[in-house]
Amino acid sequence: MRIAVVTESFLPTVNGVTNSVCKVLDFLADAGHEAILIAPAARHTPSSYRGFAIHAVPAVAYRQFPVGLPHPQVQRALAAFRPDVLHAASPFLLGAQAIAAANRLGVPSVAIFQTDVAGYAKRNHLGPATGLAWRFVRWIHEAADLTLVPSSSSERDLVAAGVTRLARWGRGVDVERYHPRLRQDPRALDLHARLSPHGEVVLGYVGRVAPEKQLERFDELRGVTNISLAIVGDGPSVPAVRRLLGGMPVTWLGRLGGQELALAYASFDVFMHTGTEETFGQTIQEAHAAGLPVIAPRSGGPIDLVRDGHDGYLFDPDAPRGASSMRTLAEDLVVSTELRLRMGEAGRRAVHATTWKKVCGELEGHYTQVISDRAAVPVASAF
C-alpha cells in the first residue's frame, strides 16, 4: 500500500500530533508499506524518516510552532507519488489543501481529528467566531472519506457540528518502555529521592506548559501537606506558571523523552492531568502503563481513559473545594499508599493490550476500507 501522510506538526517539534505520526510511520515501515510525508518546514526538519521522503512546505511561526501554508508543492508531491490513500493528521490549512488535492486526484483520505475547537474557542473568548470555527472544521472533515476521532467527547462534538462518516481510533502506548518495574531502577529511585527528600508523595505532570493545559489548577493544591509537585515539559506558559506556583514545592524537570521520560514516570506516585481540552490524553495512557493512579478532569478524552474510583479519579473542573474537586481527590490518594497501588495496578491492566502495533493495525483496516469504498464508485483519474 502507498500512503501519503500530511501533518500539521512534525520533528523537530514534539507534541501529540508529531508523536502519533512517528508511530504510524514506524508501523508503515515495519509492515513494508511505501509512504511519503508532507509537513511544515522548520529549522532542522529532517529530509526523511524511516526511509520515507519528507516534503517540507513553507510555514509561518505561531506560538513556537511552524504552521504549514497551502503550497503548489502539495499537489505536485501527491501526483508524483500516486498514493492509494491520504492520511491527514490533525488537518488545518495544510491538511485541508491536501484533502482537496487528493479528491481532485481521486485518492481516498482519512482525517485524524485531534484538536478541541470548542475548548480553544471558549478559552480565547471567540464568541460568535466559535460557530465559524466549527464550520471550518466541518468543511475540512466532510471533504475526507473518513474522520477518525480519539474519544466519545470528540465524536459528540463533531456529530453536533454536522460531520458525518466518523469512526473511533485511539492511540497506542509503549507498555514495555513505561513499566512499573522501572520504579526499582536506581536512576528512578535517585530521582524520586530528589523529588521527595522528606518522604513526600510525588504528584507528577507531563506535557506542554501552555494555556490550554491549565497548569494554574495546581495552585488548588497549595497547603496540602506531604506532597511535592514534579513538572515535565516546557512551553510558553513556564514563566507565568512559575510565578503562580511560587512558594509551593515544585521541581521543574524540563522537556524529557525516551528513557528519561520513562524514568520520570517511574519516580512519580500519582499522575496529575489538569487540562479540559484534550481530545485524547496520551500521557494518561503512559501513566497507566507505568502503574500510576491518575487524577484528571471529567472533560474530553480523559472521560474514556480514567475509570473513576477504579484506576484514578475524575474531578469536576468547575467544582469549588468540595467532594469532587481536584484538591480533595488528591488528598485521598496522598494519605493512602494502598489506594495508590491498587489504582495503579488497575490502570496498568487497562492499557496492557493497547499497543501501537494493535492500534496501527486498526488504522490499516480503515485505509483498506476507504480504498474499497472509493473503488466501488469509479471516478476519472487525474494522474
Q: What is the pLDDT of residue 241?
A: 98
Burial (CB count within 10 angstroms: exposed 0-12, middle 13-18, buried 19+), residue 298 = middle
Q: Are strands 227-232 and 201-206 parallel, antiparallel or unpaired?
A: parallel
What's the pLDDT band for 62 if we cut at 50, 70, 90?
A: confident
CA 153, distance to chain mean position in Å, is 14
378: left (phi over 0), alpha (psi -120 to 50) or beta: beta
CA 159, distance to chain mean position in Å, is 21
Grid coordinates given for 147: 474522520
pLDDT score of 27 more than 60 = yes
CB 232 within 8 A of CB 265: no
Q: What is the pLDDT of residue 121?
A: 64
- Listed range (57-61, 168-172, 243-247, 349-353) with the worst mean pLDDT: 57-61
Question: Around 361, how many Cα atoms within 13 Å sit in the side-chain half-sphere?
Answer: 5
What's the pLDDT band for 65 if we cut at 50, 70, 90?
A: confident
- The amino acid at residue 290 is A
For the chain, give the mean pLDDT: 94
DSSP assigned state of 247: T
Grid coordinates given for 58: 513553507
Quick one: average pLDDT of 208-223?
A: 95
Angle between the N-to-C axes of helices 258-267 and 186-195, in degrees from 0 to 180, rounded to the nearest 10: 60
CB 84 within 8 A of CB 369: no
Residue 4 pairs in a beta bridge with 36, 86
Q: What is the pLDDT of residue 252?
A: 98
Residue with cell 490550554: 212
180-351 architecture in CATH? 3-Layer(aba) Sandwich (3.40)
Domain boundaries, the chain: 2-172+355-375, 180-351
Quick one: average pLDDT of 14-19?
A: 90
Quick one: average pLDDT of 132-141?
A: 91
Question: For residue range 312-331, what is the model confidence (pLDDT) as tens digits?
Answer: 999 999 887 666 799 999 99
Grid coordinates given for 50: 524511516
Q: Name the strand (E) or helix (H) holding 368.
A: helix 356-375
What's the pLDDT band for 28 if we cut at 50, 70, 90?
A: very high
Question: For residue range 269-302, what is the model confidence (pLDDT) as tens digits?
Answer: 999 999 999 999 999 999 999 999 999 999 999 9
Grid coordinates given for 196: 521527595
Q: How far apart are CA 139 and CA 122, in angstroms?
A: 21
Dihedral angle computed from the Cα positions of residues 318, 320, 324 and 330, in that order, rounded to the nearest 10 degrees? 110
Domain at 2-172+355-375, CATH class: alpha beta
Q: What percent of the chain has pLDDT over 90?
A: 87
The answer to whether the bond into 12 is cis (omega within 30° of 0) is: yes
What's the pLDDT band for 248 if we cut at 50, 70, 90?
A: very high
Dihedral angle computed from the Cα positions of residues 12, 39, 130 and 217, in that order, rounded to the nearest 10 degrees? -20
pLDDT score of 88 more than 90 = yes
Quick one: average pLDDT of 209-216?
A: 95
* Edge-to-edge strand ranges of the sheet holding 270-272: 250-254, 227-232, 201-206, 270-272, 294-297, 312-315
Domain 2-172+355-375 matches domain 180-351 at the CATH topology level: yes
Q: Name the strand (E) or helix (H) holding 96.
A: helix 93-104
